[in-house]
Homo-oligomer: A and B are copies of this chain.
Amino acid sequence: MTTSDLTSTHPSVPDAALEAYLDATHEQRLESYKEFLRIPSISALSEHAADCRAAATWLADALAGAGAEHVEVSESTGHPVVYADWLHAEGAPTVVVYGHYDVQPVDPLDLWTSPPFEPVIVGDRMLGRGAADDKGQVHLHVVALEGLLKTRGSLPVNVKYVFEGDEEFESAHLDTWLEANRGRLAADVAVISDTGFFDGNLPAITVSLRGICYIQIDVEGTALDLHSGQFGGAVENPANALAQIIAALKGPDGRIRVPGFYDDVVPLGDAERAALAELPFDEEAYRESLGLPALAGEVGFTTLERRGTRPTLDVNGIWGGFQGEGSKTIIPAHAHAKVSCRLVADQDPDRIFERLEAYIAEVAPPGVRTTVRKLGTGRPSLMPIDHPATQAAARALAATFGRDPVFIREGGSIPVGASFESRLGLPVVLLGFTPPDDNAHAPNESMLLANYEGGIRAIARMWSELAAIATAKSPGSDGTR
């Protein structure tokens, strides 16, 4: 689905002063970007708690240096939230900007071509953990703020920055913080920069996000490993039992077998199905780029449909027993798996958890003890394409990158998307710039520098577009809001 009419309310020529400023500060900008990436703010690992705080403090200092006010490293029940604002655009709309400074773990470390927290520019990319997800996108917001304030002395809109440190841990603590700070978060729209471009690096606006229900399955047998000869055949093997449970969760047809799992899935309409089919996407090239013998997934759906509009069930990690060299002949004492379901509107993560838990209890063999723990949840969300703020973002992207963006349904989850909608009552625009091959969550994460640079300009344009809408729609123009 491409936008057919993106008549801009704002000239698409570059802002000459901003361009000059960005030219002059190119080197220091990249050095600052690298500095941010050097802080190993892995939120999921408790030994990195101090690094998360250090990243928050670094970011607060950068925002203050850029000209933001009321800068605060604000305590939450998890890692701190960085808050800052600039509120001098009287009568103009107010935007809440969201991003996150925490990053994913880095294992398997041996697959990185350079150390994950020693960022380097390789060719046209910044390489390092967080370069794309999401420090690179947070950083370009700070640069846009700085550039506009340094060159104009003001912004066309009011902006409130909320940068959290628990996103890679399912934003487990942000809801509480949002509730506690509801007073100072009054706004007209939320802009979330934690998504990216479409295949072929096409500018894109994400109009839906999948939710998530992340569980751990623990299967316990005996207190110690058993000799597989002395005991083999007479006791249930926890690792075999775990495989049996996982295999029962999803069939070879890609359909999840948990009773009621699909009950609340909003069916894909014919129109949207047709729009997805129109997206420039080559399944064979996609397969080849992944180096896979074949694509796979739920029967009856295309790859784009599977990826954006259908729920999933994936093992994220599995372990038990002997993993070393050679052959140890044991029945493992216990075996474990981390399993996550991506969810789509209107699936409820807590309800899905209950269904998973009940089904696993039903299919688990009786000779072992099986427990299911909830490690995290996030609600799915779906945004209207024709919302004026979404259209403003489309114009900002078109003017900056020279082509109309596509509207996509994203397979990933940004739980905070649903939170801004439901808790703060804000329309949400997902405006992100990462390239599709950024290796987010994997070794050798990278950001295309052209996307990073374009992101700075697109954000500056987005603020102008939002201001222009408000002017066009002010009581003095057509009387509607």
Contact partner of A105 among B170, B246, B328, CB < 8 A? Answer: B328
Chain B: minimal CB distance from A364 (Å): 10
A317 close to B312 (CB less than 8 A)? no
List residues of chain A with CB under 8 Å of any chain B CB: 43-46, 104-105, 107-108, 111, 169-170, 210, 212, 214, 221-237, 239-240, 242-248, 250, 252, 254, 286, 290-298, 303, 306-307, 310-332, 335-338, 340, 342, 365-369, 375-376, 410-413, 436, 439-444
28 pairs, A vs B, C-beta closer than 8 Å: A105-B322, A105-B326, A108-B225, A210-B232, A214-B329, A222-B291, A226-B290, A228-B441, A229-B411, A229-B413, A232-B307, A233-B310, A236-B296, A240-B250, A242-B318, A246-B247, A252-B365, A292-B367, A314-B331, A315-B320, A316-B321, A316-B330, A317-B330, A318-B318, A318-B319, A319-B319, A327-B375, A328-B441
**CB of A1, distance to nearest CB on chain B (Å):** 19
Residue of B nearest to A320 (CB): B318
Of B44, B317, B443, the contact of A332 (CB 8 Å cutoff): B317
- 3 nearest CB pairs, A to B: A229-B412, A44-B326, A296-B367
- A314 contact set on B, CB distance < 8 A: 228, 232, 237, 239-240, 331
Asked whether A315 and B412 contact (CB < 8 A) given A225-B441, A342-B233, the answer is no
Stoichiometry, as copies per complex, reads 2
Does B295 contact A237, Cβ atoms closer than 8 Å?
Answer: no
Inter-chain CA distance A322–B45, complex, in Å, is 12
Q: Is B243 touching A247 in the complex (CB atoms < 8 A)?
A: yes
Which residues of chain B are near A245, meaning CB under 8 Å?
243
Closest to A305 in B: B233
Q: Is the CB of B295 within 8 A of A234?
A: yes
Q: A224-B111, A324-B105, A443-B224 given as contacts; is B239 within 8 A of A315 (CB)?
A: yes
